[in-house]
Every structure is written in C-alpha cells, then in structure tokens.
Chain A
Amino acid sequence: DAKTTQPPSMDCAEGRAANLPCNHSTISGNEYVYWYRQIHSQGPQYIIHGLKNNETNEMASLIITEDRKSSTLILPHATLRDTAVYYCTEYNFNKFYFGSGTKLNVKP
C-alpha cells in the first residue's frame, strides 16, 4: 500500500525552479525516501534519495523536514524535458512503495 501522498499535478515555467512536495507521515526512523520520475512510456528513473539530511546531485536537490514526515524535490532550472510524473517512495524491508505521483508540466 502506498504510504506517500503527493499533489496530482503541478505546473512550472521553463527555467524556473520546480518544487515538488511529498508527505510521508508514516515513515519510520530508518526508512529512506527515494524519488523517481517516469517519462511517458518509459520505466521509472531514479533521481535521488535521503534519510534525514538534505541531499544534492546533478539532477536535483532533496530537502527533508526535521521530523522526516515530508520532503521536497527541487529541480533548480526546469526544462521541457523534465515534464514527467514524479514519484516519492518509501523503502522498507526491501520494498519500494510508489504512490500516485505528481505530474509536472513544464511550460515554455
């Protein structure tokens, strides 16, 4: 069962930062939060993950609240190619739980 909640859709202007929120209020102390995205007709692609510290890689930044019950994925300069469904997932006991995701529409 999905344990994360995300807004169904968001719009972002090309070149601007996209901030995608996720609530994972049932997360336990040792569960990681992972983010994936799925571009139409492809398999989900890994973006970033974290436990309690903020993380950054070449694709995005991840901000996790101190109580770990929510997080925000930040795409600093969104491009049209970032249009996709973004999934916030919990990893627990070898299982990744995918919610319904957020459809990010990047507009020119």
Chain B
Amino acid sequence: DAGVIQSPRHEVTEMGQEVTLRCKPISGHDYLFWYRQTMMRGLELLIYFNNNVPIDDSGMPEDRFSAKMPNASFSTLKIQPSEPRDSAVYFCASSLGRGASSYNSPLHFGNGTRLTVT
C-alpha cells in the first residue's frame, strides 16, 4: 500500500499563473477529498468525490478553483488564475465508503502540496 500520493510537494508560482495539483488515491478507495490548510483557517474541506463524481463542492472558494477526477486513480485540483491568498498546503485524502451510513472508514491523507503564490 503506497498510500495517497500527491505531486508536486512544493510549488512556487507567480500571481496570475495556472497551478495544477495532482493526487493518486489508495487503490480501491471510492471517496476522494481535497482539503486546504492555512494558519488562519485550519483544515478546510474544498470538495469531495464518490466513485469519481463530485458530490459536494461547497467548500471551493471561488470559480478560480476547479477539481476533476477522470478515473478512480487520479484527481487534479486546478487554480486559474492563482493569487497570493491561495498560498496554503493542499491535502488530498481518500477513504473507503460504506454506503448510506454515518460511518465511513478513516481518511488517509497524502503529505500535501505546499503552494506559494508570489
């Protein structure tokens, strides 16, 4: 089990540039989550997918953010155009759902992408 893999680990870009963050979930997991972590706001859920379908994107801050999951083993989070306030650590996590239940298997997080927008 290689765990959740995110790339790149660090990204430094200039304001206005497009940024793409990538995530490979654990094989067999059917839920995928994107979180953002900042000192001011802590861990915020941006969006999550179930079986590659976006279920809830209410945490996406604005239209500059978009996420896709073209298949069960890959997801991207894109910011276009990027702004300095987007600087944060972005985490991807996956889990194995158990249907319509109040219980879900724990989240398995990747080690994050630290984004710096100058």
Contact = CB atoms under 8 A, between A and B. Distances in A.
A99 B45 CA distance: 12
Sort chain B's interface into a size bin: 20 to 34
Interface of A: 2, 30-32, 34, 36, 41-46, 49, 51, 87, 91-92, 94-101
Which 3 A-B residue pairs are closest in the complex by CB-CB distance? Answer: A43-B109, A46-B106, A98-B43
A31 B103 CA distance: 7
Contacts of A92: 102
A25 to B, nearest CB: 18
B9 to A, nearest CB: 10
Given A43-B112, A46-B106, A87 B50 contact: no
Given A87-B43, A98-B42, A100-B42, A43 B102 contact: no
B55 interface: yes
Contacts of B103: 32, 51, 91
A99 B42 CA distance: 7
Nearest to B92: A43
A31 B56 contact: no
Contact of B48 (A31, A36, A95): A95
Interface string B51-67: 00001100000000000
B12 interface: no
B118 interface: no
A45 B109 contact: yes
